[in-house]
Amino acid sequence: MSPYWKDKAVLVTGGAGYIGSYVVEDLLRRDARPIVADNLETGTIENLAGFRERVEFRNLDLREFSNCRAAVKGAEVAMNLAARAYGVGHSHKNHGDMLTSTLQISLNMLEAARLAGIRRYLVVSTSCVYPDDAVMPTPEGCAFDGTPESANEGYGWGKRMAEIQAGYYAREHGMEVAIVRPFNAYGGARYTWKDEKSHVIPMLVRRVMSGEDPLVVWGSGRQTRSFMHVRDIARLMVDATERHATGEPVNLGDESEISIADLVQVILRVAGRNPKVVFDTSKPEGKARKSADGSRLRKVFPDFKAGVSLEGGIREIVATYRA
């Protein structure tokens, strides 16, 4: 293991959240000293169970600049994961809220890090920066074509601006910025249920496990998505911060695509349930297809191998629900 992280004080904003808590765990494995700043809007202290005593926790709302300044105190590296990260059910009718909160957190956090003299910084962007008509699988170069994905447009603009700001700060202030664009994270045991604001896999697992019959699935079922396990995403975020702080964005995803209809079948198989499945096309389904061109990821991290299969990750969520 590289000595880069040993005893480093690393700020993880949103570290009590789904992906963030796995980032914290990964950092602990690398002997770093994580500081978590989170307002617990969707994150929970339980997400830190098992390693809470090894983490410094700061309860702060990072939309406020003064709180961002408190968050960065004593940190040597900052990884900015805090965001109102909701599924399409919320995002498609709250673009203003998604834009404002994403911008407030991103702009204030990077500026606070700069003022505190932190050079190494991770911007967590998203695949939602890509337009609806982007080529599939989508390479990183398409992020500023047209408008972001229409169902997540406000959020997508916010993340685009976070990337732009980081580029300027790298050029003008010598900051070393890593930028990652995760596709859909899934798996693990820590997803916080967000009612109709939830992401697709936890939403479906919960409804299947609660015995919904017929199982009503949003959209035609033909829309495709590309999933990456949350522990793989977390590990790649840490690796990118260490090894690719060049300002060049990297997709955290690959060419594998699964339709929502097929995904439902995987969930039903793993859960051992057999409800009638009905597709509700009056509900938003987001983009028709979504998959990442993973060439850059493979080039930058040639040693990366996915740790868990799609079915394996779904098994974890089903087991968590049962427990």
Ligand X SMILES: NC(=O)c1ccc[n+]([C@@H]2O[C@H](COP(=O)([O-])OP(=O)(O)OC[C@H]3O[C@@H](n4cnc5c(N)ncnc54)[C@H](O)[C@@H]3O)[C@@H](O)[C@H]2O)c1
Q: State the residues that interact with ligand X by CB under 6 A.
A: 14, 16-20, 38-43, 61-63, 81-85, 105, 124, 126, 182, 184-185, 192, 199
Question: Smallest distance, Å, CB 271 to ligand X?
Answer: 21
Q: Which two tokens stand for residue 15?
A: 């570290």
- Decide whether 233 or 271 has the Cβ nearer to ligand X: 233
Question: Smallest distance, Å, CB 213 to ligand X?
Answer: 28
- Decide whether 122 or 275 has the Cβ nearer to ligand X: 122
Question: Smallest distance, Å, CB 11 to ligand X?
Answer: 12
Which residue reads 């989508």 in tokens?
A: 138
- Decide whether 48 or 170 has the Cβ nearer to ligand X: 48
Residue 123: enclosing H or E segment and its boundaries? Answer: strand 120-124
Residue 205 exposure: Cα atoms within 13 Å on the Cβ side: 27
Question: Smallest distance, Å, CB 256 to ligand X?
Answer: 15
Which residue reads 């009590």 in tokens?
A: 16
- Decide whether 120 or 199 has the Cβ nearer to ligand X: 199
How far is residue 261's CA from residue 204's CA, in Å, rounded to a whole number? 11
Question: Smallest distance, Å, CB 181 to ligand X?
Answer: 7
- Decide whether 40 or 268 has the Cβ nearer to ligand X: 40
Residue type (1 letter), 129: V
- Decide whether 5 or 18 has the Cβ nearer to ligand X: 18
- Decide whether 61 or 275 has the Cβ nearer to ligand X: 61
Q: Which spans in 151-221 are helix H?
A: 153-173, 200-209
Residue type (1 letter), 175: M
Question: Smallest distance, Å, CB 263 to ligand X?
Answer: 14
Rounded to 10 deg, the angle between the 260-271 and 310-322 helix axes is: 50
Burial annotation 231-254 (CB, 10 A radius, 16+ → b, else e): bbbbbbbbbbbbebbebebbbbbb
Beta carbons within 8 Å of 309's beta carbon, 6+ residues apart:
none
Residue type (1 letter), 135: V
Question: Smallest distance, Å, CB 322 to ligand X?
Answer: 21
Count CB-CB contacts under 10 A for residue 274.
Answer: 11
